[in-house]
Amino acid sequence: MHTNRFTRIGFILAAAGSAVGLGNIWKFPYITGENGGGVFVLIYLATVVFIGMSVFIGEVLLGSNAHKDAVSTFETLSPKKYKYWKYSGFTFLTGVLILSFYAVVVGWIFHYVVVAATALPSSVQEAENHFMNLLQKDIGTQIFYYTLAFFVIAYTISRGVKKGIETLNNILMPTLIVILAILLIYSVQLEGFSKALSFMFSPDFDKFDSSSLILAVGHAFFTLSLGMVTIVTYAASLDKGVNIVKASITIVIMDTLIAIVSGLIIFSILFSAGQEPGKGAGLVFITLPAVFFEMGSMGIFLAVAFFTALAFAAVTSAVSVLEPTVMYLVERKKMKRKKATYSVALIFYVVGLFALLSNTTEFSSFLTFGSKNVFDWFDFISAAILMPLGGILVAIFVGYIMDKEVSRKALVPHIGENLYQVWLFIMRFVAPLAIFLVMLNEMGVIQF
């Protein structure tokens, strides 16, 4: 049992910190740009409300009932005849794989905070050259910032739930919100703001297709940190008596608002500079730095603020991804927290080096298998297979396996019987099917 628990606010900020990451500030704006703006945002919001919210509540329900590590949670809540469902908790291993390449990206962002403050590229071409040089040739710089990211993440986890995770999120999440608020206030004054509003909130159904629908479902799922028992693990350290529905809704709203605000900021800046939104994954590292340069001294301030916000979001997410594995080792294997943290962190550090080197010209040929290098394989396996599989397991476990009285007792006092039945229907039928379709689409088995 936990003596080291989150306060209600601490849990909300930590879980929001887990959910708010690169998916909100980097990925959401560029996939919105690539998928027609308003219609994609509409589908995304609907998916968050009807599927993402339900699965999120399901994960919080599991953790807050058992107050144990993920494996013990499924073990405790599994009826004897379903004893093998306890192995669902081992989806925490997805986090170690994700962290192995995610920390590489955190390192890139740390580097760009320094670039923003010292030498912004003066054109899109220069920005592209800088990023590709970093990615493919400047191994030393990459390893330096990757190592820095590794130490920040591991040190935070090693200090525990209260002193480490909650303290970090209590500082970084409010600061992140303040930075985004400043950037939004500035964006409102730009001539491109009205166009950004129109682009994001005026659905053009001519641009709607089934692939956008599946992408929106997948991104809603990804951005809420579902499918790798992170939320289950955080909820295990939640004080008893907390209204889990209210806390879950608060977190989902915070997560979604930050994605929307990030989109408005980025599109306002792009439109004001005469740039187009469909720039793909290079939007943050190639297009925006050049746009910030064109703004002069104000651009330097905005660039530092933007990349700092991105760094904060990335670190809080990375910390949450490691915690389930550490908690398992502490509770099930009786390891000291520091030993557990640095043992796992060392594994992800070494494995992550292969992901980092696989992007470089010097080592790519040795670290490319089939059509993908190690970095891309890690991304593909986690996003296309392991996270969706983890989400399906949670939905089926909560919907079918776990004693219904557990969920009814926890939820009905807060949402009533009718809404409880709607939630249960989504967990049993809608969420597993929707996530399974995302999984098949990501794997290329079917294409929408």
Tell whether the model's pLDDT for residue 1 goes beyond 50: no
Mean pLDDT of the chain: 92
Tell me the percentage of the chain whose pLDDT exceeds 70. 98
Distance of CA 173 to the CA centre of its chain: 14
In terms of C-beta density within 10 A (0-12 exposed, 13-18 middle, 19 or more buried), how is residue 409 classed? exposed
User: For position 446, what pLDDT does the model report?
Assistant: 79
pLDDT at 276 over 60: yes
The predicted structure's pLDDT at residue 281: 67
Mean pLDDT of 147-151: 96
CB 314 within 8 A of CB 152: no
Return phi, psi of residue 373, to 5°. Answer: -85, 175
> What is the pLDDT averaged over residues 39-44?
90
Structure-token pair, residue 237: 């350290």
Q: Would you state the pLDDT for residue 215?
A: 83
**Segment 3-25 mean pLDDT:** 87
Of all residues in the chain, what percent carry a pLDDT higher than 90? 76
Q: What is the mean pLDDT of residues 152-172?
A: 93
Res. 183: pLDDT tops 90: yes
- Cα 148 from Cα 110, distance rounded (Å): 8
The confidence score (pLDDT) of residue 433 equals 95
Q: Tell me: the pLDDT tens digits for 71-120?
A: 999 999 999 888 788 889 999 999 889 999 999 999 999 999 999 999 99
- Over range 304-318, report the average pLDDT: 95
* pLDDT above 60 for 3: no
pLDDT tens-digit map of 92-106: 999 889 999 999 999
The amino acid present at 123, given as its one-letter code, is S
Summarize the confidence of residues 407-418 as an average pLDDT.
96
- Residue range 192-243, pLDDT digits in tens: 999 999 999 988 777 777 777 888 888 888 889 999 999 999 999 888 888 9
* The pLDDT of residue 186 is above 90: yes
The pLDDT assigned to 218 comes to 84
Q: pLDDT grade, residue 279 (50/70/90)?
A: low
Domain ranges of the chain: 8-443
Band of the pLDDT at 22, cuts 50, 70, 90?
Answer: confident
Which fold is adopted by the domain 8-443?
Hydantoin permease (1.10.4160)
pLDDT above 60 (res 2): no
> What are the C-alpha distances in Å from 80 to residues 58, 75, 83, 91, 402?
21, 9, 5, 21, 11
